[in-house]
Structure 1
Amino acid sequence: MPDTESKPVPARPASTVLLLRDGAEGLEVFMVVRHRQIEFASGALVFPGGRVDPGDRAIAEALPGLGPPEAGALRVAAVRETFEECGVLLARPRGAAELLDAARLARIEAEHRAALCRGERPFAEVLAAEDLLPATDRLVPFAHWITPVSRPKRFDTHFFLAAAPPDQAARHDGGESVESVWIRPAQALAETEAGLRKLVFATRMNLVRLARYASVQQAFAEAAAAPVVTVLPESVETPQGRMLRIPREAGYGGELFPALDPPAM
């Protein structure tokens, strides 16, 4: 008899960046609103990010000190996606210790960002033309989530913290994202509770974690000290309704959480 059991769709490697700054009322994170015609998380408030491209792996393989190529590709993808979706470029001139200054970034953005977002210019070409190296050392691993096996589109996503360079202005790309905001994590959660925002589960839970921190320094220190535990949400039925189970040791303050949205990434 034929095998009627379908295999799970493979999860594609992806990187997400939680770009942070210290605001007047506490820690703020940069978020974008996905275009409603985008297939994944349409209309949702999300952290910038996307899947790893083959070009990211090629860049990582050419850079020393990034470890295994796949791990390096995740970091390169995080830098690329931050530039594409935020206009913030975590890169430094070759041989320099500091990141790009605002004036040079403005010229680079004007010349390259739109073409990069349209897929007309590889990131490697941008880096080579400007003699830049991605500042992957500015990224701190924060979380690792894999889309549930039941979903038709799946991602294996690594979340990184990054401090926003003070002289670089973050703004959405106007294509995949139609709005952007610097927002306190607790405020984003409260606005979602009030029906003003839409969050997918992984974003909601990582905002819950971020809301514990009073500053960028505290967020970085605690993330550096905590092991990253892989989270693959599992849907379970309970007397209280459908819940999503995640590992307690992942650091989200529990194991079962209400499934207020589809269990996607």
Structure 2
Amino acid sequence: MTSESAPHGIPAATIIIFRNDPEGGAPQVLMTVRSRTMVFAGGMAVFPGGRVDPEDFALGEIAASRSGGDITPDEAAHQIAAIRETLEETGLALGLSGDIDASKAAKARAMLEMRNELQPVLDAFGWSLDLDQIVPFARWFPKNENLARVYDTRFYLADLGTGEVDISIDNSENTRLFWTSAKGALEMAEKGEIKLIFPTRRNLERLDLFASFQEARAQAEAIPVKTIVPRIDTTGAQPMLTIMEDAGYPITSELLETVARG
């Protein structure tokens, strides 16, 4: 059985990166438009992230052993994957501590693209993991849907504050990076300017509840992360794709015929 068809799904992680709106409006989040050539969610607007690699699990074991039991190796591996993918896809060095500036981040990104693992980058730049910057937010596992690949994805929150940083696409998986409020992204989708898969749309609706990163973090810490498994409900007049009611999401269903599912 391949990893793509395994019942446990493909482990993946993504970070919802906040920054303050330069004009003083609602907080903004970073989104990326995936290349249309990608098998999963091609052409869709999503948050930066990707699958968890074996090297992430190896580094997760080390991070967990150093945490004194504060985090499991599996959870650490997912957070590390989110950090690695964010640096690779956007050029942002999140979840790391040390002497970090834009120039070093660019060099670290170039090294990561060659080595494809985070540990050599940490060693080369004298950086260390700072997983306290990464806040668990959600976990989505659409195992009941008829998808070509089923990802078991953990979503995290992180904050840039003023957001005075440079970002750039990786020229392989992504074609565009942009900052927008959650409401702005939803409005762009309604106008047909971007396309959203079901989990991204639901997460944007949830993010639109918050006036700041601090509010988002407070809710994330107050509501235990539950594995969200969307289900098809055929009891009504039209089939609906639904999620649980108690995971913090304001909208928990959508007409199946309108759902973009990756």
Aligned to 1:28: 28
TM-score by length of structure 2 reads 0.87
Residue in structure 1 matching 2:173, options 171, 176, 180 = 176
Q: Does 1:157 align with 2:153?
A: yes
Q: How much does 1:257 deviate?
A: 2.3
Secondary structure at the aligned position of 1:79 is classed as helix
Aligned to 1:112: 108
Secondary structure at the aligned position of 2:204 is classed as helix
Distance 2:181 2:251 in 1: 22
Distance 2:93 2:233 in 1: 41
Q: Is the 8 A contact 1:231 1:247 kept in 2?
A: yes
Distance 1:108 1:183 in 2: 23
Segments ≥4 residues shifted beyond 4 Å: none
Q: How much does 1:218 deviate?
A: 1.4
Secondary structure at the aligned position of 1:191 is classed as helix
Aligned to 1:11: 9
Q: Does 1:80 align with 2:97?
A: no
Secondary structure at the aligned position of 2:27 is classed as strand
Aligned to 2:47: 47
Distance 1:16 1:107 in 2: 23
Q: How much does 1:247 deviate?
A: 0.8
Distance 1:8 1:128 in 2: 34
Distance 1:13 1:122 in 2: 16
Structure 2 spans left out of the alignment, 5+ residues: none
Aligned to 1:227: 224
RMSD: 1.9
Residue in structure 1 matching 2:73, options 69, 72, 81 = 69
Structure 1 spans left out of the alignment, 5+ residues: 1-6, 94-99
- Identical aligned pairs, as a percentage? 35
Matches within 5 A, 1:74-223: 74-90=78-94, 91-93=96-98, 100-102=99-101, 105-109=102-106, 111-117=107-113, 120-149=115-144, 150-164=146-160, 166-223=163-220
Report Cα offsets for 1:40-91 as digits up to 9, x if no partner: 1011110001111111111122221152211110111111111111111121
Distance 2:252 2:117 in 1: 41
Distance 1:155 1:131, change over 3 A: same
Matches within 5 A, 1:244-255: 244-255=241-252
Q: Is the 8 A contact 1:146 1:232 kept in 2?
A: yes
Count of paired positions: 248
